[in-house]
Copies of this chain bind each other. A is one copy, B any other.
Amino acid sequence: MNNAFSFVPLSNALYKRLSQLHDKKFRKEYKQFIVSGDKLVRELLVSGLKIDYIIAEAGWLQEIDKRAVQRYTCYAVDEAVLKKLSGQVTPNRVMAVLPLFAHAKAVLPSKNERIIALDCIQDPGNLGTIIRLADWFGIDHIVCSNDCADFYNPKVIQSTMGAFLRVKVHYTNLESYLQEARNANVPVYGAFLKGENIYNASLAKQAIIVMGNESKGISDKIGSYVTQSITIPSFRVGGAGSESLNVAVATAIICSEFARQSML
């Protein structure tokens, strides 16, 4: 099979534009974002999602099945250029530029459905890790307050390890969303340092699970919509231990316990 096809050189203007996509403002303006890395881009190519163009090492373009990429404009660049563009220490061999997703408005969980709501999660790595674990626990939707880290931040996309293709992340006024939940009598669980021991709590199959900011937790405003406060008890007996868990770790433990109880 002849895998050779024509590569387009990267213009200075396009290089600049790609660098700008690390910045939320420009992602909004250009309505585009970047997905980096061999594994993620290969997953993307089979997903059928629209790709605007691909930037890769010439070697990567030669290795991949031509049929997988021939319908896209492919720019061949040096490893050093890719490293600069991806902003990562570990060099990536390929990047794809995609149009922003068109996520529908956040809706309330259906019967037997859990949805995660995030109140001002700031760290992109935490957001990405939460998207990844939501995927694992079969959670299809995450509702973010507008001040959460940006879904399209390259660090978020990277740390989802591909789950950004499956879990829908909605940005909205979280208060209004939770007001709707209140009107519809949907249980809203909130993770606090003081609340009912999660292992003893009866966790509903239809639920919104609210997780708060890394240092401040759930804000008072958002907390007023919580119908059941839950907590992961510390098992450090006698004396002071850690004050809290990392928010992605806490979300994982809570989703695990919801999932476990749903099996009973």
Decide if B245 touches A136 in the complex (CB within 8 Å): yes
Decide if A166 touches B245 in the complex (CB within 8 Å): no
Known A-B contacts A129-B249, A249-B249, A252-B252; A136 and B259 likewise in contact (beta carbons under 8 Å): no
* A48 contacts partner chain B, Cβ-Cβ < 8 Å: no
Decide if B263 touches A199 in the complex (CB within 8 Å): yes
Cβ–Cβ < 8 Å partners of A237 in chain B: 138
Cβ–Cβ < 8 Å partners of A125 in chain B: 125
**Whole-angstrom CA separation of A232 from B136 in the bound complex:** 9
Decide if A249 touches B133 in the complex (CB within 8 Å): yes
* A161 contacts partner chain B, Cβ-Cβ < 8 Å: yes
Residue ID in chain B nearest A254 by CB atoms:
B256
Decide if B136 touches A260 in the complex (CB within 8 Å): no
- The B-contacting residues of A in range 244-260, CB under 8 angstroms, are 244-246, 248-249, 252-253, 256-257, 259-260
Decide if A256 touches B253 in the complex (CB within 8 Å): yes
* A132 contacts partner chain B, Cβ-Cβ < 8 Å: yes
Interface size class of A (residues with CB under 8 A): 35 or more
Decide if A245 touches B252 in the complex (CB within 8 Å): yes
**Which of A133, A135, A136, A166 gathers the greatest number of chain B CB atoms within 10 Å?**
A136
* A234 contacts partner chain B, Cβ-Cβ < 8 Å: yes
Known A-B contacts A132-B242, A246-B132, A249-B249; A256 and B232 likewise in contact (beta carbons under 8 Å): yes
Known A-B contacts A132-B242, A161-B242, A241-B166; A138 and B249 likewise in contact (beta carbons under 8 Å): no
Cβ–Cβ < 8 Å partners of A241 in chain B: 135-136, 138, 163, 166
Chain A residues close to B by CB (< 8 Å): 125, 129, 132-133, 135-138, 159, 161-163, 166, 199, 232, 234-237, 241-246, 248-249, 252-253, 256-257, 259-260, 262-263
Subset of 28 A-B contacts with CB under 8 Å: A125-B125, A129-B249, A133-B246, A135-B236, A135-B242, A136-B232, A136-B234, A136-B236, A137-B235, A137-B236, A138-B235, A138-B236, A138-B237, A159-B246, A161-B243, A161-B244, A163-B241, A163-B242, A166-B236, A166-B242, A199-B260, A199-B263, A235-B259, A246-B248, A249-B252, A252-B252, A252-B253, A253-B256
